[in-house]
Amino acid sequence: MNGELSSALETIGPELLAMTRLFGLPDGYWDPPARYVMHAEELPDLYRIAFTFDALSAERTAPVPSEADPHLQALHRRRAARRLCKQALYDLLRKMTGIHPPWGSLTGVRPTHLMLEALAEGLSPEAAVRRLVTEYDVTLPKAELLAEIAAVQRKLPAPGDAFMDVYIGIPFCTTRCAYCSFSSGEIGNGRLVTPYMEALEKEIRACAPLIRRSGRSLRALYVGGGTPTALPEKEFRRLLDIIRGCFPDACETTVEAGRPDTLSRDKLRAIREAEISRISINPQTMNDRTLQVIGRAHTAQQVREAYALAREENIPHINMDVIAGLPGEEEPDFARTMEAAVRLHPESLTVHTLAIKRSSRMSLENAPLPDGEKTARMVDLGLQTARALGMEPYYLYRQKYMAGNLENTGYALPGHACLYNVDIMEETSHILALGAGGISKRIWPDEGHITRAPNVSNIQEYISRVEEMIQRKSDLFLQDPASQNEP
Ligand code: SF4
């Protein structure tokens, strides 16, 4: 292997491991003494990468990208070499196992990016679907789903350099879900609520002016966490007042109200008075037994009551999150959740696939992922339910450690797509993220590059270091672009 190619592939190990997992092979599969051999070479204008395993082999070639700009050329060459390497290993694993993963060889890349990229190159939707199927081995239904999502996204108001989204994190929940790896803390005795909210107010007031000072306008605002409605009523109202005062001109505002047992008429009134356009009440499942198993301290009946209360208070848009593949659930259980979704008729529905994230309780207990094919049928029922509700798919993302290597898909009634969800997944908008664990992002659309400024996740540390968090955002959005644009 020559120098440039070898340095491009130097750190590819984790990505090859992710590829191995796509086929359900254990992490130790390639441990020494490895039975596979990789051969990579750069011919005058071609990369060639081959993998062999015993008598099986797979080889791929790709043109070496060449651009006038040396920075872009280095970036594109590195990406092309790594993509090629993963695809060659994918071909080998396909031969070895006979498995066809639903998303083909795609790992570590947002599938909608590839679809939008193909359309931006001038390909028709049909040709873009063909490219995903032939180049990445994506199954046809998944590629067609992407084409549909891209069509919806292209009708939305375009984001871009002139706009910024705001995220505000409330890292408290009433209890912790078994699959959750967020850094949110249980609200417990509420000891940290007041100092946290004081620090957050300081950060909001100091950072809100950065939007205008950096020459941009506010686009979407999202209050998430955690569960913002887990805050006591007084603190919740105060938060909404601060938000309204500091960000009066958001074209869309969402407040997560994930746990139905955290909602009250007073909080819903506060939401309506603050002109919040969208809330999310998330059953995850409508089966009481599963709700207990996954550690959510509410019942399906409380979900129904929360929806009724929110409707009475004229909340304009309610989103519902559900999860396919929850522990102990079979297809009839998921079907019951979908029937309830039809009755509650949210304006948008997000169908997640269970993912067991590293620091979650399920991961610590070594809980297994559910059967991939069964989960795929649930995900498909989610899609059919969304269609029966008159919704269209508008965003999609995948995560590590997901059942069946499937996906999470957001559906919404026409005209109800959440701009923030699209922006965060497609990474097309600057993000000013406030609160513990928030990650602010400055995008560089021309270079395809993003600079990040993370806030610390630990709640106590956030409280004591809030001035430093404010400074990070100021540096990110006001500093000279040239000094930040490093590869
Ligand atoms: S409600 Fe969300 S943030 Fe809170 S514990 Fe459950 S998954 Fe985590």
* Distance (Å, whole) CA 176 – CA 172: 9
Tell me if 412 sits within 8 A of 395, measured CB to CB: no
Ligand 1 site-directed mutation target among 175, 177, 320, most atoms within 8 Å of CB: 177
Other Cβ atoms within 10 Å of 279 Cβ, number: 26
Query: For ligand 1, what atom is nearest to the CA of residue 225?
Result: 3
Closest residue CA from atom 8 of ligand 1: 180
5 torsion bin: left (phi>0), alpha (psi -120 to 50), beta (else): alpha
Structure tokens, 458: 């630990």
* Distance (Å, whole) CA 429 – CA 216: 11
Query: Which residues, in sequence order, are bridge partners of residue 63?
Result: 46
Side chain identity at residue 128, one-letter code: A
Ligand 1 site-directed mutation target among 176, 222, 296, 303, most atoms within 8 Å of CB: 176
Structure tokens, 333: 């259980």
Closest residue CA from atom 5 of ligand 1: 176
Other Cβ atoms within 10 Å of 319 Cβ, number: 24
* Distance (Å, whole) CA 175 – CA 216: 38
Alpha-carbon distances of 84 from 222, 271, 349, 376, rounded to whole Å = 37, 49, 36, 28
User: What pLDDT does 487 receive?
Assistant: 39
Between vectors from CA 99 to CA 97 and to CA 104, what angle results, nearest 5°?
A: 125
Ligand 1 site-directed mutation target among 175, 182, 303, most atoms within 8 Å of CB: 182
Instruction: HSE, CB side, 13 Å, CA atoms: give it for residue 107.
Output: 25
Closest residue CA from atom 6 of ligand 1: 177
* Distance (Å, whole) CA 264 – CA 40: 61
How far apart are the CA of 46 and the centre of ligand 1, in A? 48
Query: For ligand 1, what atom is nearest to the CA of residue 176?
Result: 5
Other Cβ atoms within 10 Å of 90 Cβ, number: 25
Ligand 1 site-directed mutation target among 184, 255, 261, most atoms within 8 Å of CB: 184
User: What pLDDT does 281 receive?
Assistant: 98
pLDDT tens-place values along the chain, 487 residues long = 557 888 888 888 888 888 888 888 887 777 776 777 899 998 889 999 999 988 899 999 999 988 778 888 888 899 899 989 999 999 999 999 999 999 999 987 789 999 999 999 999 999 999 999 998 999 999 999 999 999 999 999 988 889 999 999 999 999 999 999 876 666 667 889 999 999 999 999 999 999 999 999 999 999 998 999 999 999 999 999 999 999 999 999 999 999 999 999 999 999 999 999 999 999 999 999 999 999 998 999 999 999 999 999 999 999 999 999 999 999 999 999 999 999 999 999 999 999 998 889 999 999 988 999 999 999 999 999 999 999 999 999 998 888 999 999 999 999 999 999 999 998 889 999 999 999 999 998 877 789 999 999 999 999 999 999 999 999 999 987 655 544 3
Side chain identity at residue 184, one-letter code: S
Tell me if 391 sits within 8 A of 348, measured CB to CB: yes
Exposure letters 211-230 (e unless 16+ CB within 10 A, then b): beebebebbbbbbbbbbbbb
* Distance (Å, whole) CA 153 – CA 293: 37
Query: For ligand 1, what atom is nearest to the CA of residue 282?
Result: 1
User: What pLDDT does 486 receive?
Assistant: 44
Nearest to 85 by CA among 108, 69, 111, 116: 108
Q: Which residues line ligand 1 (CB under 6 A)?
A: 173, 176-177, 180, 182, 184, 225-227, 258-259
Other Cβ atoms within 10 Å of 250 Cβ, number: 22
How far apart are the CA of 465 and the centre of ligand 1, in A? 25
User: What pLDDT does 151 receive?
Assistant: 97
Tell me if 290 sits within 8 A of 328, measured CB to CB: yes
How far apart are the CA of 411 and the centre of ligand 1, in A? 21
Q: Full-prediction pTM beyond 0.75?
A: yes
Other Cβ atoms within 10 Å of 155 Cβ, number: 10
How far apart are the CA of 414 and the centre of ligand 1, in A? 28
How far apart are the CA of 226 and the centre of ligand 1, in A? 6
